[in-house]
Amino acid sequence: MPITLPQLSRRAFLKRAAWLGAGLALAPSSQAGWFGKPRDPHTFALISDTHIDADPKSIQFGVNMADNLAGCLKELANWPVKPAAVVVNGDLAHSSGRPGEYVTFGKLLHPARALAPVHLSLGNHDDRGNFWQAFPHDATPLAAVPQKQASVFTCRRANWFLLDSLDATAHTPGKLGEAQLAWLERELAARPEKPALVVCHHPLDITGFFGLKDTAGLEELLARHRHVKAFIFGHTHSWGVARHPSGVHLINLPQTAYPFVAGRPSGWVRTTLARDGAEFELRCVDVHHPEHGQVKQLTWREG
C-alpha cells in the first residue's frame, strides 16, 4: 500500500456509485458536467479532519459530520474547474477507525473521484489496517516505509510529500518514526528541482504532547532542505497560516467536521500554486462565516 484513489471515468464512476449505493446529493444530469470541465493543473483541494462516523446521521458537538463533508464536496464539484488533485489529511474516521466508518467515508468521498485523483493520509483517529482493507482495489505496492501511508506525488510547480503521523489509534500525539524521517530525507534530496510541500496530519509540537513526538527531527529536516516551502497540517481543528523561523510557511487546515472552539470555521481550502508561491483560500461550510473566502497569498522562501 499506500492508497491513492485514482480519478474514475464517467462509466466507472456511475458503476461504482450504483454498487456502493452512494447517496449522491446531486442529480445525474449535474454529475454529467463534472467530467467535461477543464482542469487547472495548479489548483488543489485540501481537506482535513472529516471524522466520519459509520452512521451518516451521527452528530457531534451539534455538527453532522457527513453533511459537512458532503457540502464541501458539492461546492468542489460545482467549482468552475477541476482540481489537479484532492488531498484528505487524516482523521478520516470519527472515533477509532472502525470498518464501518471507512465504508461511509468512501461513499461520501465518491463524488471527488469524478474530478481528480484523491490522496489520503492518516491521523490519530484512524486505524491503518482497517483503512487499507477498506480500499483493497486502490492499494499500490508498499513503498520504502513499512506499515506507513507515506507517498509522493508531483505536479508542474511542486512536489507533494504526504506523511503518516498515526502512532497509536485514539491517542492524541503523533509520530513519524526514524524510518519515515529517513525516507523523507532521501525523497527530498532526490527532488531538489521543484518546491516541496510537506503534508502531515499532526502539527509541529516541541512538547510532543499534542502534535508530533519527533518534532525536532522533522523541524531540522524541513529547515535544512531549502526547497521545502510549506508544511501543511490539520489535527488542531483551527484554520490559520503562520511562518516558521526558517521561512517555511505553516498551513493549519480547517476541519470539515466540528470545531474545538465555538465560532471557528469548518470547511476546506482551495490552493493554487504560482511559480514563486501559492494562494490558499478558505471555503467555509457556513458561507456566512466572516472568514469565508479569506485568501492568504504566500511567497516562498529563497533557496
* pLDDT tens-digit series, residues 222-273: 999 999 999 999 999 999 999 999 999 999 999 999 999 999 999 999 999 9
Asked if the model's pLDDT at residue 208 lies above 80, the reply is: no
The residue assigned the cell 456502493 is: 20
Cα–Cα–Cα angle for 121, 266, 290, nearest 5°? 145
Q: 43-47 and 267-273: which strand pairing? A: antiparallel
Q: pLDDT tens-digit profile of 50-59? A: 999 999 999 9
Q: In this predicted structure, what is the pLDDT of residue 135?
A: 84
Least confidently predicted of 17-26, 29-38, 240-249, 266-275: 17-26
Residue 181 has what DSSP assignment?
H
Q: Residue 184 — φ and ψ, nearest 5°?
A: -65, -40
CB 148 within 8 A of CB 187: no
- Domain ranges for the chain: 4-299
Distance CA 137, CA 167 (A): 25
Asked if the model's pLDDT at residue 63 lies above 90, the reply is: yes
Q: Which helix (H) or strand (E) holds 77?
A: helix 65-77
Asked if the model's pLDDT at residue 22 lies above 60, the reply is: no
The pLDDT mean for the chain works out to 91
Superfamily of domain 4-299: Metallo-dependent phosphatases (3.60.21.10)
